[in-house]
Structure 1
Amino acid sequence: MKTNSVNCPALLVTAPASGHGKTSVTAALARFHSRNGLRVRCFKTGPDFIDPTLLAAASGQAVYNLDSWIMGSEHCRQLLYDAAAESDLILVEGVMGLFDGEPSSADLAELFGLPVLPVIDAAAMAQTFAAVLHGLATFRPSLTLAGAVANRVASARHADLLRTGLPAGLQMASLPRNPQASLPGRHLGLQLADEIADIAERLDQLADTIGETWLAKLPPAIAFAAPARSPKPEPVLQGKTIAVARDRAFCFLYQQNLECLRDMGARLVFFSPLADAALPDADAVYLPGGYPELYADTLAGNNRLRADIQAHIAQAKPLLAECGGMMYLTEALLDVEGRRHEMLGVMPGVAVMQGKLSAIGSQQAELDGQIIRGHTFHYSTLQTPLSAIAQAQTVNGHGGEAVYRLGSATASYLHFYFPSNPEAIAGLFLA
Structure 2
Amino acid sequence: MKKIIIAGTSSGVGKTTITCGIMRALRDMSIKVVPFKIGADYIDTTYHCLATDNTSTNLDEFMLNKNTIKRIFMQNMKSNDIAIIEGVMGLFDGYQDRDDYCSTASMSKILDSPIILIIDAGKMATSIAPIIKGFLEYDKKLNIVGIILNNVSTDSHYNILKNSIKKISNIKILGRIPKQKDINLSSRHLGLKLATEDAENEEKLKKISQIVKEHIDLQSLLDLSISSDLSYIPDNINKNYDITLAVAMDKAFNFYYKNSIEEFEKRGVKIVKFNTFTDNKLPKCDGIYIGGGYPELYARELSKNKSLIQDIKEKSEKNMPIYAECGGLMYLGGHIEIENISYEMTGIFDGISKMTPKLQRFGYCIAKSLYDTPLTKKEDILKGHEFHHSIFETNLDTAFEMEKELYDKSVKKWNGGYLYKNTLASYLHIHFASNPNITNNFCQNMLNYKLLNP
TM-score range (shorter-chain normalised) is over 0.9
Alignment partner of 2:4 out of 4, 11, 31: 11
Q: Determine helix, strand or coil for the equivalent of 1:278.
A: coil
Post-superposition CA distance 1:337-393 (Å, at most 9, x none): 443222222111111211211112223334314333322111112211111122133
Alignment of 1:382 onto 2:392: yes
Contact 1:321 1:410 in 2 (8 A): yes
Partner residue, 1:423: 437
1:15 and 1:39 mapped to 2: Cα distance?
24
2:234 and 2:442 mapped to 1: Cα distance?
25
Partner residue, 2:105: 106
Q: 1:54 to 1:229 in 2, by over 3 A?
A: same
1:185-196 pair list within 5 angstroms: 185-196=187-198
Most deviating of 221-230 and 145-154: 221-230
Note the aligned Cα RMSD (angstroms): 1.9
1:222-241 pair list within 5 angstroms: 222-232=227-237, 234-235=239-240, 238-241=241-244
Q: Which consecutive unaligned segments of at least 5 residues does structure 1 have?
A: 1-7
Partner residue, 2:421: 407
Partner residue, 1:5: none
Contact 1:41 1:90 in 2 (8 A): yes
Q: Residue 427 of structure 1: CA displacement? A: 2.2
1:120 and 1:330 mapped to 2: Cα distance?
44
Contact 1:292 1:324 in 2 (8 A): yes
Q: Residue 401 of structure 1: CA displacement? A: 5.8
1:94 and 1:395 mapped to 2: Cα distance?
23
Q: 1:334 to 1:133 in 2, by over 3 A?
A: farther
Partner residue, 2:357: 355
1:381 and 1:251 mapped to 2: Cα distance?
20
1:84 and 1:428 mapped to 2: Cα distance?
29
Partner residue, 2:377: 368
Q: Determine helix, strand or coil for the equivalent of 1:86.
A: coil
Give the aligned residue type for 1:389: A
Give the aligned residue type for 1:324: G
Partner residue, 2:315: 312
Give the aligned residue type for 2:30: G
Counting matched residue pairs gives: 421
Partner residue, 1:281: 284
Q: Residue 261 of structure 1: CA displacement? A: 1.1
Q: Determine helix, strand or coil for the equivalent of 1:81.
A: helix
1:80 and 1:427 mapped to 2: Cα distance?
25
Partner residue, 2:269: 266
Partner residue, 2:98: none
1:229 and 1:279 mapped to 2: Cα distance?
35
1:95 and 1:422 mapped to 2: Cα distance?
26
Alignment partner of 2:44 out of 42, 48, 51: 51
Most deviating of 185-194 and 388-397: 388-397
1:132 and 1:262 mapped to 2: Cα distance?
46
Q: Residue 150 of structure 1: CA displacement? A: 1.1
Q: Which consecutive unaligned segments of at least 5 residues does structure 2 have?
A: 96-101, 369-375, 450-454
Q: Residue 282 of structure 1: CA displacement? A: 1.6
Q: 1:126 to 1:339 in 2, by over 3 A?
A: farther
Post-superposition CA distance 1:67-124 (Å, at most 9, x none): 2231110111112223445322111111111111222111111232221212122223
1:214-225 pair list within 5 angstroms: 214-217=217-220, 218=222, 219-225=224-230
Q: TM-score, normalised on structure 1?
A: 0.92
The percentage of counterpart residues that share the same residue type is: 31
1:360 and 1:256 mapped to 2: Cα distance?
23
1:249 and 1:338 mapped to 2: Cα distance?
20
Alignment partner of 2:88 out of 85, 95, 98: 95
Partner residue, 1:170: 171
Q: TM-score, normalised on structure 2?
A: 0.88
Runs (4+) of structure 1 moved beyond 4 Å? none
Alignment of 1:244 onto 2:258: no
Alignment partner of 2:341 out of 339, 342, 351: 339
